[in-house]
Structure 1
Amino acid sequence: MHLRYLIKAIQCGFAGKAGDTAAYKAAALGTPAYGDLDARLAALANPLPDISLAELQSQPPGSFGQSLAQFLHSNHLQPLTLSAETRNALTDSSLLAIRYPILHDAFHVLLGFDTSLAGELGVWSFVAAQYYSPAYERAAFIGRWFTRLITPWQWKRLWVYGEKGKQLGRQAVCVIAQPLEEFWAMPLDVVRTKLNLPSEIEPIAN
């Protein structure tokens, strides 16, 4: 735990800087990546993309970018953006720890999972199956049992989402290491196919 980053996360939270808050919180926790994953992320042209809602909304109908914009709008969310100060301050931190929160909502769109507890569990199960970090595997494990404890009446739905997430995670390429920020204009089904995901993902019944 990096205490100075945790303090910065709290300060940014009070200042209403959601992106910086998430970045400092992730950096505080460390989140070491497996193997050469951080090196692969560093090789990307833009490992910490600055996602603009206006840019997403300007993409063609049915595109990955517009689908993400619609997801954000429907759930009253904003993209996580980092200030120049935060980018400079976190140059020695794990790229995985910061890149994943920026792209978390994009994972929801790619996987067709909503923002319910079950949908979040599905995403975390996917990420754990992708073998990014031991911290994410622990988070998925805790999430599976925590969600069942607080919503036992949803046990079956939680199980279905978790299993679907694991299945998709095992079959897909390493999604976090792909230049997702370069795919906004591409049709969503084409992006999914590129990532070895089903081009069409049927919603999971409640």
Structure 2
Amino acid sequence: MASRTELKEDALDLALGILQLARDPEHGFKHSRHFSPIFKWDLQKEWLKAFLNHPKIKPLVDEQFDIPWPSFDAMRAMPVGSLGNCTQLMFSQLEIDPLPPVNKNLRKVVETNEKEDYLSRRLRKFHDIFHLALGVDTSVAGEAAVQSYIAVSQRQPAVVAAISAFMTHSFFYPDEHRMIWEAINFGTQVGLAGVFLEGCRWEEGWERPLAEWRSELGLTSLLKNSPFQDEIHRWETLPS
């Protein structure tokens, strides 16, 4: 069990991280070192153990399912509106790394095993595909929507810290206040509706229409209430 001194230090570190991320969300990786204590929480450890055995996650983990992504040139040749075509447009124009590096700013505070490492890599690798599927941008509001979805869908305690930072950001920047809270509401509603993006084998369906993916996942009707109406079909209609 952690000492009172350690708990106090961890709490202060986490509070600092929340405030820094709220003030400067553009440099989230830089501030992420302050969020390391989260991974020592018993709640987080219990979540990870349970999530690894989720009926839609366990087969992926046991199989270590991982098919290399096509090149952007190959995705560009896919049908307009397909998951692959939309992905390369979004990633290219927003300069998103398709294979985000390991965040070395996070201090390793707990030991992990092969299954846990695989799950962490997979969730990180497809984070921006969640943005695409949910039709949300990469602004603070868009990230708040995704993290709120994750909090409900995965029941993951760690994301509460990020959501707290985005909530705090809304008070620092009044012009973004309403959109951030509408985004949190949207992400929450998607999670409560039972949508589960984490279990998808996206790699087997790059050429499938994004609209088909959304319909299969139960997103189509939910997107009608999204505050990101200008973003939903943005990448489906742009020329490659």
TM-score (norm 1): 0.70
SS of corresponding position for 2:213? helix
C-alpha change, 1:82 and 1:117, in structure 2 (3 Å) is: closer
Identity, in percent, stands at: 24
Residue 156 of structure 1: how far off its partner (Å): 0.7
Structure 1 outlier segments of 4+, above 6 Å? 25-29
Give the match for residue 57 of structure 2. Answer: 41
Query: Is residue 67 from structure 1 mapped to residue 86 from structure 2 by the alignment?
Result: yes
**In 1, are the aligned partners of 2:167 and 2:180 still within 8 Å (CA)?**
no
**In 2, are the aligned partners of 1:47 and 1:99 still within 8 Å (CA)?**
no
Residue 77 of structure 1: how far off its partner (Å): 1.4
Q: Which moved more, 1:28-37 or 1:126-135?
A: 28-37
Residue 124 of structure 1: how far off its partner (Å): 0.9
- Relative contact order higher in (CA < 8 Å, ≥ 6 apart): 2
CA distance in 1, matches of 2:218, 2:49: 22
Aligned partner letter, 1:174: F
Aligned partner letter, 1:108: H
Superposition CA RMSD, Å:
3.3
CA distance in 2, matches of 1:73, 1:29: 33
**1:78-110, CA deviations, whole angstroms, 9 ceiling, x for partnerless residues?**
201679xxxxx9625344322111001100100
Residue 183 of structure 1: how far off its partner (Å): 2.0
Aligned residues: 177
Structure 1 unaligned spans of 5+ = 1-20, 84-88
Structure index of larger Rg: 2
CA distance in 1, matches of 2:82, 2:210: 5
2:97 aligns with one of 61, 64, 78: 78
**In 1, are the aligned partners of 2:141 and 2:183 still within 8 Å (CA)?**
yes
C-alpha change, 1:49 and 1:128, in structure 2 (3 Å) is: farther
Aligned partner letter, 1:64: L
Residue 164 of structure 1: how far off its partner (Å): 0.9
C-alpha change, 1:79 and 1:131, in structure 2 (3 Å) is: same
C-alpha change, 1:82 and 1:53, in structure 2 (3 Å) is: farther
C-alpha change, 1:70 and 1:173, in structure 2 (3 Å) is: same
TM-score (norm 2): 0.61
CA distance in 2, matches of 1:48, 1:149: 41
